[in-house]
Structure 1
């Protein structure tokens, strides 16, 4: 059964599991049920942003169940397709350099638009439907359009995939449902303890000053003030 983790970031920049589901299939209606049930469990507290790959069923479910959440696309999954979808051009260093500069080094929307138009004209890509489809989704994955959207510094779905790997230590594809629940509980307890350990270290240990900068020293002084007594 497909395993769907809802993964976020805690105050120690650790991956944290907000919930998970086992699904019978990967249809839009099933994703809608999963999202709706999860929202009930978290008392309707919707995330500011959610990052997924280009799965259309999941995208449709997000649109209907999380209308106020910004839907972003994993830039890693998209960039992985560049060599295949643009094989004729991407093998050339000049195109690769121009393309990557446009995608990754456009600081504001106006610069991106200018660089994109110049790229399309220079390499005669006006009829490339795949590139046009990416351009139509620019507000979901291009930094120039997403940099002001809070996503805890996340641009890709690696934390979700990392959570899958984390669970692999406790469950597998042949695990029965009862054993899965027991294994999942152990995984959650381990996650909880990791956060508590970091909480303890934050309040009871002094950070190692690596560069001895004013910023590091200020952080150390703030930590001393906020440390509980006793």
Structure 2
């Protein structure tokens, strides 16, 4: 008790970013990559070569082996698709240390890169469980959830 977490994952909320920096200065904070990736269709979907663009961008984000190769591939990508004026991508690049996996190399995240798993659990159990649910209640409610979902 009283120990700050070593790592925390949130969405891109600037207020949350500031609060974590202030309250937990020694905690490694990153942004949920799932939340960022799900914005791609909205932010980039109007581009003529969107499918190709999206596939290449995913490859750069998830498969870069070094920080240098990520940065080189990113700039080649921006040049190839003429995205120099896209401020959303420019801002993402500026904040790359917050969300691109290669910048977390050597850090332990217990296979977590996003808040998606916890969000899906909240959606699954929504309305059935709360913070005071006992283990016995959990088993009972789990059965109720399965019945309701079925």
TM-score with structure 1 length normalisation? 0.54
- Between the aligned partners of 1:72 and 1:191, the Cα distance in structure 2 is 34
- Change in Cα spacing, 1:90 to 1:80, as seen in structure 2 (3 Å) is farther
- Which residue in 2 is equivalent to 1:61? 19
Distance (Å, rounded) in 2 between the aligned partners of 1:147 and 1:192? 36
- The more displaced of 146-155 and 158-167 is 158-167
Partner of 1:72, secondary structure, is strand
Which residue among 15, 33, 37 is the counterpart of 1:79? 37
Q: Write the distance in 1 (CA, Å) between the matches of 2:36 and 2:122.
A: 20
Q: Which residue of 2 aligns with 1:121?
A: 79
User: Structure 2 vs 1, CA of residues 90 and 110 (structure 1 numbering), >3 Å: closer, same or farther?
Assistant: farther
From 117, 120, 133, give the equivalent of 1:186: 133
Conserved? CA contact 1:74–1:156, under 8 Å = yes
Partner of 1:141: 99
Q: Distance in 2 between matches of 1:131 and 1:62?
A: 24
* CA shift in 2, pair 1:185/1:145, >3 Å: same
Change (3 A) 1:47 1:190: farther
Structure 2 unaligned spans of 5+: 140-150
Whether 1:104 aligns to 2:104 is no
Among 47, 54, 60, the residue aligned to 1:89: 47
Q: How many positions carry a matched residue from both structures?
A: 138
The alignment yields a C-alpha RMSD, in angstroms, of 2.2
Q: Aligned partners of 1:131, 1:63: CA distance in 2, in Å? A: 23
Residues 191 and 81 of structure 1, relative CA distance in 2, 3 Å threshold: farther
For residue 146 of structure 1, report the CA deviation from its aligned partner. Answer: 1.4
- Residue 192 of structure 1 deviates from its aligned partner by 9.1
| Cα offset, 1:77, TM superposition | 0.4
- The two structures have a TM-score, normalised by structure 2, of 0.81
Match of 1:169 in 2: 128
Contact 2:40–2:54 (Cα < 8 Å) also in 1: no
- Is the 2:65–2:102 contact (alpha carbons within 8 Å) kept by the matching residues of 1? yes
